[in-house]
Structure 1
Amino acid sequence: MGKLSGQLVIATHNAGKLREIQALLAPFGVTCLSAGDLGLPEPEETGTTFTENALIKARAAADGAGLPALADDSGLCVDALGGKPGVYTADWAERQWFEGPEGRDWFMAMGKVEGLLCEQGPDADRSGHFVSVLAIAWPDGDSAIYEGTVDGTLTWPPRGKLGFGYDPIFVPNGMDQTFAEMAPEDKHRISHRANAFAKLVKDQFEA
């Protein structure tokens, strides 16, 4: 299996996710190109797990660009909702014309989660976790998988303008700020994506 160096395609059209991944890879001298910038289409995510969907995206980008590709499939799993939205995390944020061609209405998605929890009453279990699965695919067919998680509690109303997605309603365990209230460098130290990246870095960049 090859090691990462030179150019790497980040298989995402999500600007927030791209910024986080670029920041995490910055110390290792890898040049990141996004699938969106290369004009690669978004493959249909037909998997039923984070791992399956991450591999679908990484393989499509690697084949399309002829370069190693890194994909992240991540989501919020709420305990009281049986792990939902899970792999359908982004689907709960329906595309809206006012959000732009790639935009999703994340406030709507956060509202869906809160509404379902409220249906369970004031004593509903508000615990949950974010999952991030990173998949690397090489043009020669090789691949590698790294998974990270972070546990926390859901809060309402949303707080903070940083981060993206469900970050404004997620307070990681041991913290009093939501992900969207934290400085990016603080989030990067403890997030699910950082957890998965630590495993990737150990495997790909450390001797």
Structure 2
Amino acid sequence: MDKITLVFASNNQHKLSEIQSKIGEQFEVVSLQQIGCSEEIPETGSTLETNASLKSQHVVKNYGKNCFADDSGLEIFALDGQPGVDSAHYAGDRDADKNMDLVLLKMQGIKDRRARFRTVISLVLDGDEHLFEGVVNGNIRNGKCGAAGFGYDPIFEPEGYDITFAEMSLDEKNKISHRAKAVEKLIAFLKG
């Protein structure tokens, strides 16, 4: 099988490392920077699906490249699915500590700590769009634990574990994360 080059509509080094380690050597994943895309791609959708699609379609339309894009969100049951599509800028800007602090503040005194991380990937390949979803269920901790990972990882404890995503190695997290599950579906599709 020839190596397939796909643009991953991101310059987030954490995400690129996570995806590349998961996707293997049959695929070459290149960033937006590597194709010369420096503009901020608007994420104006009201759902993860819409935002992922907006990003992949933008690259195809403006750069003529096969592309996949993801959007992820932390959905907390007691907060009616918040922060959800607004996860990256829940507290007003892209500050992970402020976002976690706001979640912890809103969750004070709430017994139902159930939450889930959800990723949606939009792949546009030869003009056709395909969507893949990955979900990992878990609970919101009462405080931050661990220094690895990014985003809400220090307050999210996946189901079946007694440590947070931020206390796991990248390899460990890659086996169970929402993004990993969505990427597995993407890879299975590409191999098929």
- The alpha-carbon deviation at position 69 of structure 1 amounts to 0.7
| Structure 1 unaligned regions, length at least 5 | 96-103
Residue 144 of structure 1 aligns to a residue in which SS? strand
Alignment map for 1:46-85 (pairs within 5 Å): 46-85=44-83
Alignment map for 1:74-113 (pairs within 5 Å): 74-92=72-90, 94-95=92-93, 104-113=94-103
- The alpha-carbon deviation at position 49 of structure 1 amounts to 1.1
Alignment map for 1:142-153 (pairs within 5 Å): 142-153=128-139
- The alpha-carbon deviation at position 202 of structure 1 amounts to 1.7
Change (3 A) 1:72 1:93: farther
User: Within the alignment, does 1:154 sit opposite 2:140 as a pair?
Assistant: yes
Q: Which runs of 4+ in 1 moved over 4 A?
A: none
User: Within the alignment, does 1:127 sit opposite 2:125 as a pair?
Assistant: no
TM-score normalised by length of structure 1: 0.86
CA distance in 2: counterparts of 1:55 and 1:126, whole angstroms: 30
TM-score normalised by length of structure 2: 0.92
CA distance in 1: counterparts of 2:157 and 2:66, whole angstroms: 34
Alignment map for 1:114-193 (pairs within 5 Å): 114-118=104-108, 121=109, 123-138=110-125, 140-193=126-179
CA distance in 2: counterparts of 1:4 and 1:111, whole angstroms: 46
CA distance in 2: counterparts of 1:160 and 1:14, whole angstroms: 20
Residue identity (%): 40
Query: Aligned-pair RMSD on alpha carbons?
Result: 1.8
Task: Give the alignment partner of residue 38 of structure 1, picking from 22, 35, 38.
Answer: 35
- The alpha-carbon deviation at position 157 of structure 1 amounts to 1.9
CA distance in 1: counterparts of 2:169 and 2:17, whole angstroms: 13
CA distance in 2: counterparts of 1:4 and 1:89, whole angstroms: 37
CA distance in 2: counterparts of 1:93 and 1:188, whole angstroms: 27
- The alpha-carbon deviation at position 30 of structure 1 amounts to 1.3
CA distance in 2: counterparts of 1:23 and 1:63, whole angstroms: 28
Change (3 A) 1:4 1:82: farther
Change (3 A) 1:5 1:42: farther
- Superimposed CA distance per residue, residues 38-91 of structure 1 (whole angstroms, 9 cap, x where no aligned partner): 332222112111111101011112223321111011010000000000001012
Residue 107 of structure 2 aligns to a residue in which SS? helix
Change (3 A) 1:5 1:161: same
Residue 52 of structure 2 aligns to a residue in which SS? helix
